[in-house]
């Protein structure tokens, strides 16, 4: 995650000459702003030039850095915009940073491993295991981060799946030990916890 922050700082250094051609006075510190999202209150940081405006604005959508780590990116990038007379607003999603008290971060599931039915005559031939291993390899190559499954721990643990609750993850269906997760890259679950929200297709197919 810190490598991402370093990348953002490098980007800021790259675009600095373009944004600092006509500097204006900068506000000393950002304002903390509270806004509503449905029935919950979220928070963000508002960086703005000195003056009454009106100013053009940028809404910065941050990633999933844990704690207040995203502030390092905000502090590197925001001055480059406000030096050119732009307002820079960085919001914190629920469960993270200034919005940590708004409730758990919701992880939308993009990959869910469904049960693999097999004709009885083909059982115990390694077909299911081969499909799972090859499928997970393809998911890694495609750049996915995480896959979850609702299934027997004794079976899916052989592929590296672990109890999702141990990572602070829970699901919509109240399943505990059988709800398992597999990170597909190092650090994929860092700073992520809360409710795993399934896509509508999962419910429509009644998997």
For the chain, residues classed under CATH 3.40.630.30 are 107-204
Q: Looking at residue 10, what is its pLDDT?
A: 53
As to burial, measured by CB atoms within 10 angstroms (0-12 exposed, 13-18 middle, 19+ buried), residue 149 is buried
Please state whether 154 falls in left (phi above 0), alpha (psi between -120 and 50) or beta.
alpha
Residues 6+ apart with CB under 8 A from 61: 91
DSSP 159: G
Indicate the SS3 state at residue 177.
coil
Nearest to 62 by CA among 47, 49, 50, 44: 44
For the residues 176-186, what does the mean pLDDT come to? 90
Superfamily of domain 107-204: Gcn5-related N-acetyltransferase (GNAT) (3.40.630.30)
Give the separation between CA 59 and CA 45, rounded to whole angstroms.
10
Cα→Cα distances 64→32, 46, 106, 130, 189, Å: 19, 19, 11, 33, 10
DSSP 165: G
**What tokens were used for 116?**
């693999």
| Residue 133 vs residue 121, higher pLDDT | 133
Indicate the SS3 state at residue 125.
coil
Q: Looking at residue 18, what is its pLDDT?
A: 43
Among the residue ranges 3-7, 50-54, 108-112, 152-156, the one predicted with the least confidence is 3-7
Give the separation between CA 197 and CA 10, rounded to whole angstroms.
34
Residues 6+ apart with CB under 8 A from 110: 144, 146, 199
For the residues 71-82, what does the mean pLDDT come to? 87
Q: Looking at residue 159, what is its pLDDT?
A: 93
Q: Looking at residue 109, what is its pLDDT?
A: 59
């Amino acid at each position: 995650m810190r490598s991402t922050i370093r990348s953002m700082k490098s980007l800021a250094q790259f675009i600095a000459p373009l944004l600092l051609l006509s500097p204006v006075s900068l506000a000393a510190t950002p304002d903390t702003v509270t806004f509503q999202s449905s029935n919950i209150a979220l928070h963000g940081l508002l960086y703005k030039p000195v003056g009454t405006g009106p100013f053009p604005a940028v809404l910065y959508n941050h990633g999933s850095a844990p704690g207040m780590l995203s502030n390092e990116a905000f502090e590197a990038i925001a001055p480059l915009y406000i030096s050119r007379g732009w307002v820079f607003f960085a919001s914190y999603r629920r469960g993270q940073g200034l919005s940590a008290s708004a409730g758990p971060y919701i992880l939308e599931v993009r990959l869910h491993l469904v049960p693999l039915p097999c004709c009885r005559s083909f059982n115990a031939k390694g077909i299911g295991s081969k499909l799972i291993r090859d499928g997970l390899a393809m998911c890694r190559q495609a750049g996915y981060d995480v896959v979850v499954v609702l299934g027997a721990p004794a079976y899916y643990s052989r592929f590296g799946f672990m109890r999702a609750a141990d990572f602070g993850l829970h699901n919509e269906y109240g399943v505990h030990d059988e709800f398992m997760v597999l990170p597909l890259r190092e650090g994929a679950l860092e700073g992520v916890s809360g409710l795993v929200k399934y896509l509508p297709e999962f419910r429509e197919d009644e998997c």
